[in-house]
Amino acid sequence: MIHIFNVIKPGLLTTVQDLGRKGYQKYGLSVSGAVDYYAHRIANILVGNQDNAATLEVTMIGPTLKVLETRKIAITGADLTPYVNNSPVPLWRSFTVSEGDILSFQGYRSGCRAYIAVAGGLDVEETLGSKSTDLISEIGGHHGRRLIKGDTITANAVHTNKICLSRRLSTELIPTYTKHVRVRIILGPQDDAFTAKGIETFLSSEYTVTKDSNRMGCRLEGPTIEHKNGADILSEGMFMGAIQVPQNGQPILFLSGRPSVGGYTKIGGVITVDLPKVAQLKPNDRVSIEKVTLDEAHELLYKQENIFKLLQASIGEGGGL
């Protein structure tokens, strides 16, 4: 256990996250984990970690951190204008911070969530197989809560022969975050609970992200989606990207902090490769929906996972990715 950061300012919402707590929804626990799995995984790869290593997830307003040990770090995801001391630092590449440096974020530019990875990974105790912070159950991460002023963050030791050179992600693999996002979905599992008009409305309309959105999900506002006979169903497991439509006809798009079960009809689910787009949505952003097939979703995911395998295999080579 090595002290790596002291929290001078915690930012709006900064938590420790990995890829989530699997296998415990049946006990009522949230999966938690990084909302933007793509940015999280890439940040880890850039500093030579396995992609499930714990990172700091930063929301909208970034923290101010004092560096307590020289180490490679990488920042990915939302552009919140990161600075070290008085100089801007790059996104989507690794760089060295030195003991005594001050890492800060000067203001929002695009996206919603950024990820800070540290070579070796953050060192917090695993709870039920994960280091992720579950803010509802108050478990995992740093004492089961968001970071506050005065916290000290620890990291695992890095063996000299495993310290990677500075690395950057190829431009074509870096996502852009816009105020209007087209999200691909697969209809179901309760699409038969909606009228043909309701489904057409959903697929052809534009929805706006409301201010009530958070890690649990994005609440969307727009044309009413029409049910056939009401919105209630027997409660069932809630999956990442599920689009639930309660009686008011306004969709809710569930994310990593979602409840374990839900009792309203789900008109569809966001395909895995588009979940990072949703993770970067913020209030007043707009969402349009495109229907795709399961085969198309599988093909897109297969291609993306092959990219991750190639990037992970290149750890230690240095240079570009």
**Residue 161 reports pLDDT greater than 50:** no
- Residue 66 CB contacts under 8 Å (≥ 6 apart), including other chains: 5, 6, 8, 100, 101, 102, 103
User: Cα separations (Å) of 115 from 165, 199, 306?
Assistant: 19, 36, 22
**Residue 159 reports pLDDT greater than 70:** no
User: What's this model's pTM, rounded to 2 decimal places?
Assistant: 0.95
What's the rounded mean pLDDT across residues 105-126? Answer: 96
Contact indicator for 302, 189 with CB cutoff of 8 Å: no
Q: Which of residues 15 and 159 earns the better pLDDT score?
A: 15
Dump pLDDT digits (tens) for 16-62: 999 999 999 999 999 999 999 999 999 999 999 999 999 999 999 99
Closest listed residue to residue 152, CA positions, set 161, 162, 143: 143
Whole-number percent of the chain with pLDDT over 70: 96
Dump pLDDT digits (tens) for 196-240: 999 999 999 999 999 999 999 999 999 999 999 999 999 999 999
Contact indicator for 246, 231 with CB cutoff of 8 Å: yes
Whole-number percent of the chain with pLDDT over 90: 93
Q: What is the CATH number of domain 180-302?
A: 2.40.100.10
The residue ranges of every structural domain in the chain are: 2-176, 180-302
What's the rounded mean pLDDT across residues 158-181? Answer: 82
Dump pLDDT digits (tens) for 256-296: 999 999 999 999 999 999 999 999 999 999 999 999 999 99
pLDDT-derived band at 1, boundaries 50, 70, 90 = confident
The strand order across the sheet containing 110-118 reads 13-17, 55-59, 110-118, 71-79, 94-97
Output the six-digit token pair for 97. Answer: 């911070």
